[in-house]
Amino acid sequence: MTTELKHLQPTKYGLALHTTTRELGLAISNFTGDTRSDVWYLERELSSHLHQYLIEFIQPQTWTDLAFIAVAKGPGGFTGTRIGVVTARTLGQQLDIPVFAISTLAALAWSQVFQTSFVSTEKGLRIKSETAIAVQMPAQRGQVFGAIYQPTPDNSELNILLPDTVMTSQTWQEKLASWNTDYQLISAESGLAATVTSVLQLAYIDWQKGQRPNWSEALPFYGQHPVETTTQFTT
């Protein structure tokens, strides 16, 4: 049974935040041609300047034009991730709109869908659907975050083959060595805030399928108990 996809009204927008690194990434779109995004390096000024950047960025749209909020939920830096999720939850509660918490690793994988493993077809180029996308990110105490995704044959969404997990580097390497299908390995190192557009796109895919998560369901994914509130990796 095929689910009939819903579409936003042209006057309504989705807004995405990416704060899991020392950068702030913002994206907004009505998914019918009016899309924009930007990234700022704020480091420790994120908490004090985020609200002002948001106010300036959404113009000429207003808060009432928003149909949903999307936020990168981690993994990533503890403080930045927490700030982003709290901000998204607050906006969702005040505006009474859904909040989608999207994996940082999933957003990175989605950003690579049209850049890896292409094959020729009569209609052009598309990614090989059998090619999985493995994403790794440094974690604290010598561990790594790892996840494996796979785009659907029509590149309309991502399937989760291995959910975001923190593990030792050896365990991760063993999982990859024993993986029984082709995969493309991606390392999350720098410039992650630029994938805020992927955060927004993945949220819209879920929105189109009728999902309307309450703001209270948006929770950060830290993966580890932070021993301090510094970022887990630098960009």
Residue 140 is predicted with a pLDDT of 86
Q: Per-residue pLDDT for 231 more than 90?
A: no
Centre a 10 Å sphere on the Cβ of residue 178 and count the other Cβ atoms it contains. Answer: 7
> For the residues 98-125, what does the mean pLDDT come to?
73
**Structural domains of the chain in order of their starting residue, each with its CATH number:** 13-103+191-217 (3.30.420.40), 106-187 (3.30.420.200)
Cα-Cα-Cα-Cα dihedral sign, residues 20, 23, 28, 34: negative
pLDDT at position 221 is 94
Average pLDDT over residues 123-132: 56
pLDDT band per the 50, 70, 90 thresholds, residue 109: very high
Give the model's pLDDT for residue 120. 37
Instruction: Give the least confident one: 19-33, 103-117, 163-177, 181-195.
Output: 103-117
Q: For residue 223, name the pLDDT band (cuts at 50, 70, 90).
A: confident
Distance (Å, rounded) from C-alpha 219 to C-alpha 87?
12
Residue 229 has a pLDDT of: 39
- Structural contact between residues 150 and 133, judged by C-beta atoms closer than 8 angstroms: yes
pLDDT of 190 > 70? The answer is yes
Q: Look at the pTM and tell me if it is higher than 0.85.
A: yes
Q: Using one digit for the tens of pLDDT, what is the confidence trace for 22-60?
A: 999 999 999 999 999 999 998 888 888 999 999 999 999
Report the distance separating Cα 177 and Cα 196, nearest Å. Answer: 31
**Mean pLDDT along residues 100-109:** 96
Residue type, 214: N
